[in-house]
Chains A and B, each alone.
Chain A
Amino acid sequence: MELRAYIVRRLLLLIPVLFGVTLLIFAVLQFFSPVERATLYVRSPQQYSQLPEIIEKYGLNDPVWVQYGTWMNQIFHGNFGWSRVVSLPVGKALLKFLPATLELAIFATPMIILGGIFLGSKAAAHKDRAFDHATRVGAIIGWSLPTFWLGLVLLMIFYGFFSGLLPPERLSTEMNLLVHSDQFTRYTNINVIDSILNGNGRVLVDSLRHLVLPVITLTVVSLAFIMRLMRSSMLEALSKGYILTARAKGLDENTVVNKHARRNALIPVLTVSGYIFAGLVNGVVITETIFNFKGLGWWAAKSAVNLDIAAILAFALFNGILFVLTNLVVDLLYARIDPRIRLGAQTT
């Protein structure tokens, strides 16, 4: 099995994609004035007063291709710039905001994937019956909901009407102070995990209360999408000859549905996981903004609105790497689910 060679080859493909991403960002950058772009090279607040020197030093008035070279050179030397909106170097900001987003993802991803697959295949197995119709209507409405509005309405009900039951942000003020005091060790900065490691029940409950609404907001749209897709591919699988064979030889319905049909129906769902990932990133940006849940998405949205180019660039590169890695994992999963697919064979 040439698994390792395959993974290495796929990882090498990262390079052209990331290179393209930098080109794209650079193209967008050309809309901005040299002063605005000079902030990319600033690494500390003091340097802000020296913008004219920076423009001179990095040749921001030079021809475009020369500028691209200098710019890439800076990036290879690890200078991703200074994120104005949070007053931190970009690398530090990335590490600071990552745990919050991970915390959201830890809860939302399994709900989306497992929930979508389960509900979708159940709907297919009960085609044209009440359960199917109910999930169909639910999915179409969920799929049509403006994420940002859903978040606001949920807040209106569970934060306003039920006076503070499920609040926005990551932690209440009191718990936030506790978490940042000496009595609490922050191992991962993921509050739920840290509170368990510290054995602190109050922080755990508080962080869970803050997570409920963002996780729901993030889940609804993607769950609806996977569910619909799973239903139609499951229907297709159930109409195949091998299902008839399986039933004819007297297998019980559960084995037929869960083993024979579902495994085959999973492949189209995997195929679109790239889209699902992209949708999730959009969802994270909006959800974190609504709930003031200070993670990567919140940071990226704030940076985009405030023209914090260094931060946008970092977020985009980070996202590009994640995207390619997701696709790699998906292709590896393909081979596990469908033994007929051999890795490395040209499929595109």
Chain B
Amino acid sequence: MNRLGFMFYQLRRNPLSIIGITLILAFILTAALAPVIAPPPEGHRDAYQIPRSGFSPTPTPPSSEHPFGTTEGQYDILYGVIWGTRSAFRVGVLVVGSVLVIGIILGSVAGYFGGLVDEVIMRVTDVFMAFPALILAMAITVALGPSLNSVTLALIAVSWPSYTRLIRGDILAVREEDYVEAARGVGSSHFRIIVWHILPNSIYPTLVMASLDIGAVVLSAAALSFLGLGAPEGYADWGQMIGYARNWIVGPPGDPMAYWYAVVIPGLFILFFVLGWNLLGDAFRDILDPRLGKR
């Protein structure tokens, strides 16, 4: 408990981590209050489907009716980015959560038992890591049919190996400790040793760092959506909204920046979301890395 208190003390001292926490809280609020900030119009069936006013491809600039303007296909940008926050959290939390569960199970089995099991698991991670992650994720998404769920599954499939390796390393570091030896001596089962003695003493730093990877996961998901492999047409999703703006980077002659809002606004949402997690991650890295010395 004392260690935890010290951690929070250090977090509070670091202005960058304060900015990070503020950003993340702001996004959590945005996601929670989405129906209040951007209420779905009357009789709208699926709240995640962005309402559109017309079918003209040309984006229209911000107005009182559409505070952030509309993007290609007259989708309201404000509505899209607000509800897109929910999509982002869903993908991020689901992927990181599942990957951690897989990583903890496979990593502790490999690290604790060693030998053939270890060898097999590690070689499988080798194969996955030799594969270009984005292309594998793209292929899996296409194979499962483009949707946000496919993106989630694809990202789980490409990111579990590195977590498994990290956790295996953590386990290896404490496997020969005296308290593990003692637990073995009094006849504890393997399961009990792993769950009660090894995991609590080894994986917290990795767990903390991994949960902050939500930002990175959302970044990859946005890239897939941007390429047209993620959310279905008109679904509130940041990557897709940038995808809509792709044909409108350069405005008509004489006004080259005419459609800036369609490109810039959804991108800023992704940037700030990822930035929040990374700022917090950076602060934690310094705190959790004892080699950097007490400050």
Chain A residues with CB under 8 Å of chain B are: 16-18, 20-21, 23-25, 28, 31-32, 136-137, 140-141, 143-149, 152-153, 155-156, 159-161, 163, 228, 232, 235-236, 239, 274-275, 278, 281-282, 285-286, 289, 300-301, 304-305, 307, 312, 315-316, 319-320, 323-324, 348
CA distance A93 to B246 in the complex (A): 26
Q: State whether the Cβ of B144 lies closer than 8 Å to any Cβ in chain A.
A: yes
CA distance A30 to B152 in the complex (A): 19
Chain B neighbourhood of A17, CB < 8 A: 123, 126-127, 130
Q: State whether the Cβ of B208 lies closer than 8 Å to any Cβ in chain A.
A: no
How many residues belonging to B are interface residues under a CB distance threshold of 8 Å? Answer: 55
15 contacts across the A-B interface (CB closer than 8 A): A17-B127, A18-B130, A32-B143, A144-B215, A144-B274, A146-B223, A149-B271, A152-B245, A152-B263, A160-B251, A281-B134, A286-B223, A305-B228, A319-B131, A324-B130
List the 9 closest pairs (A to B, CB-CB), nearest first.
Answer: A20-B127, A304-B138, A31-B143, A160-B256, A149-B267, A160-B250, A144-B274, A144-B275, A320-B130
Q: Does A153 contact B267, Cβ atoms closer than 8 Å?
A: yes
Q: State whether the Cβ of B78 lies closer than 8 Å to any Cβ in chain A.
A: no
Chain A contact surface mostly:
helix
* Also in contact, A300 and B132, with CB within 8 A (given A146-B274, A156-B250, A307-B142): yes
| Shortest distance between the CB of B229 and any CB in chain A (Å) | 7
Quick one: closest A residue to B250, CB to CB?
Answer: A160
Per-residue contact bits, chain B 118-148, to A (CB 8 Å; 1 contact, 0 not): 0000111011111111111011101110000
Chain A neighbourhood of B215, CB < 8 A: 144
Q: Does A305 contact B135, Cβ atoms closer than 8 Å?
A: no
Q: Does A28 contact B139, Cβ atoms closer than 8 Å?
A: yes
Chain A neighbourhood of B182, CB < 8 A: none
* Also in contact, A149 and B242, with CB within 8 A (given A144-B275, A232-B289): yes
Chain A neighbourhood of B263, CB < 8 A: 149, 152-153, 156
Q: Does A319 contact B228, Cβ atoms closer than 8 Å?
A: no
| Shortest distance between the CB of A17 and any CB in chain B (Å) | 5
Q: State whether the Cβ of B176 lies closer than 8 Å to any Cβ in chain A.
A: no
Q: State whether the Cβ of B219 lies closer than 8 Å to any Cβ in chain A.
A: yes
Chain B neighbourhood of A228, CB < 8 A: 282
CB < 8 Å neighbour of B135 from A137, A156, A315, A324:
A315
Q: Does A236 contact B144, Cβ atoms closer than 8 Å?
A: no
CA distance A156 to B124 in the complex (A): 43
Chain A neighbourhood of B289, CB < 8 A: 232
How many A-B pairs with Cβ below 8 Å?
A: 154
CA distance A137 to B282 in the complex (A): 10
Q: Does B249 contact A159, Cβ atoms closer than 8 Å?
A: yes
CB < 8 Å neighbour of B139 from A144, A236, A312:
A312
| Shortest distance between the CB of A80 and any CB in chain B (Å) | 16
* Also in contact, A289 and B227, with CB within 8 A (given A24-B127, A160-B251): yes
| Shortest distance between the CB of B240 and any CB in chain A (Å) | 12
CA distance A94 to B223 in the complex (A): 24
Q: Does B124 contact A20, Cβ atoms closer than 8 Å?
A: yes
Q: Does A320 contact B251, Cβ atoms closer than 8 Å?
A: no
Chain A neighbourhood of B235, CB < 8 A: none
CB < 8 Å neighbour of A144 from B122, B130, B242, B271:
B271
Q: Does A24 contact B131, Cβ atoms closer than 8 Å?
A: yes
Quick one: closest A residue to B154, CB to CB?
Answer: A28
CB < 8 Å neighbour of A21 from B127, B143, B245:
B127
Chain A neighbourhood of B227, CB < 8 A: 289, 301, 305
CA distance A192 to B246 in the complex (A): 28
Q: State whether the Cβ of B257 lies closer than 8 Å to any Cβ in chain A.
A: yes
Per-residue contact bits, chain B 271-295, to A (CB 8 Å; 1 contact, 0 not): 1001100110010010001011100
Per-residue contact bits, chain B 220-235, to A (CB 8 Å; 1 contact, 0 not): 0011001111000000
Greatest chain B CB density within 10 A among A141, A149, A232, A301 is at A149
CB < 8 Å neighbour of B130 from A21, A300, A348:
A21
| Shortest distance between the CB of B81 and any CB in chain A (Å) | 13
CB < 8 Å neighbour of B282 from A136, A148, A153, A323:
A136
Q: Does B132 contact A146, Cβ atoms closer than 8 Å?
A: no
Greatest chain A CB density within 10 A among B128, B245, B249, B291 is at B249
